[in-house]
Amino acid sequence: MVDSSPSDAETVSLEAARRELGRLAAPVDRTDRVPLSVAVGRVLAADATAAAPVDSADLAADETIFQTGRRIRPSDVGLLKAAGVNELRVRQRPQVGVVPTGDELDDAAGGDRAETAGFTLAQYVDRWGGKVTYRNPVADDAPALRMAVQRDLTRDAIAVTGTEPGDTLREVVADLGDVLTDRIAIAPGENTGLAVVEGRPVLLLPESPAGVRVGATQLLRPLVKTLAGAPLTPFPERHAELARDVDTDASHRTFVPVTVDGDEVTPIAGSDLGTVTRADGWMSIPPESDGPAVGTTATVENWDYLP
């Protein structure tokens, strides 16, 4: 189990953090009946059974077409319709509260900077199968932060952006529940933390756009999939030759934003909004390994793929 004392917690590995989130999460038990026309992407909460035979599919009436837990694909709905199925019982999408924090942000203590980290994160959560409640930015004020966290305890999980070890938000969360770790061995994003408040997992994400992207993709995405009872499918990959050496921290799993031009992969320096927007994909380099050298074949994951 991850150390539960935030004051002396060590940096934990990404794998340990994922295990801790897995311990905290279970698929939601709330269900809906939805028409077949909007069922694609939803996860079955009960077997889908044929109401009529489909000779071309060797399917008899009352036979199970798809079992509980299947995520419905576009190619599934034709067979379901042919079998006389007009609606399905599916799991409700897990509810995720996204709470941006920081005095410098619009709507927070008179801030004047556009809030982008939480807004972008909300789009990812929706795409991963969550139902998002995106909140206005909250100032670095203990009572306001306490109210913001408590407000979203009706959700299945909470993700807070703009926080780092020792700040007011983490003190508030530690008072409301338990900060399980303040740091995770990922770069960028080492200041990502995990907490639990009244049984709800809380992901504490840093201010850096690259750190938020890495922390959310590597931790919040698996959490949302677990809550949804959906499989965690791998990202699409491309393979091409690395244009230059990549420096890594051997104590961390390093994620490198890159551009891909034909058969060439070029790392991008920086962790700002422009860097993560220009990236065609990300390289994942395990800890305790040398950074890949120019000319080696790089594996690039596309975190923003559009089907």
DSSP 119-139: HHHHHHHHHHT-EEEEPPPB-
CB-based contact 244:116 (threshold 8 Å): no
Nearest to 43 by CA among 59, 27, 57: 27
Non-local (6+) Cβ contacts of 84 within 8 A are 50, 51, 52
Q: What is the three-class DSSP state of 234?
A: coil
Q: ∠ CA(123), CA(214), CA(6), 5° rounding?
A: 110
d(CA 185, CA 178): 20
Q: What is the three-class DSSP state of 144?
A: helix
d(CA 223, CA 232): 9
Buried b / exposed e over 109-144, threshold 16 CB at 10 Å, is eeeeeebebbebbbebbeebbbebbbbebbbbbeeb
- What CATH number matches the domain at 237-301, 1.20.1730.10, 2.40.50.320, 3.20.20.210, 2.40.340.10? 2.40.340.10
d(CA 258, CA 223): 26
What's the confidence (pLDDT) of residue 27? 92
According to CATH, what is the number of the domain 31-91?
Answer: 3.90.105.10
14-27+93-228: CATH homologous superfamily? MoaB/Mog-like domain (3.40.980.10)
- Other CB atoms within 10 A of residue 45 CB: 20
End-to-end CA distance of the chain: give it in Å, rounded. 37
* C-alpha 177, offset from chain centre: 22
Identity of the amino acid at 18: R
Strands 131-134 and 95-100: parallel
Tokens found for residue 13:
């590995």
What's the confidence (pLDDT) of residue 113? 83
Name 238's bridge partners.
300
* Ordered per-residue pLDDT tens for the chain, 307 residues: 344 444 445 799 999 999 999 999 999 999 999 999 999 999 999 999 999 999 999 999 999 999 999 999 999 999 999 999 999 999 999 999 999 998 887 665 566 788 999 999 999 999 999 999 999 999 999 999 999 999 999 999 999 999 999 999 999 999 999 999 999 999 999 999 999 999 999 999 999 999 999 999 999 999 999 999 999 999 999 999 999 999 888 899 999 999 999 999 999 998 999 999 999 999 999 998 888 999 999 999 999 987 6
Domain extent listing, the chain: 14-27+93-228, 31-91, 237-301
In this chain, the answer to whether the domains covering 31-91 and 237-301 adopt an identical fold is: no
Identity of the amino acid at 105: L
What's the confidence (pLDDT) of residue 103? 84
What's the confidence (pLDDT) of residue 306? 77
d(CA 99, CA 149): 8
Tokens found for residue 306:
């559009």
d(CA 35, CA 81): 11
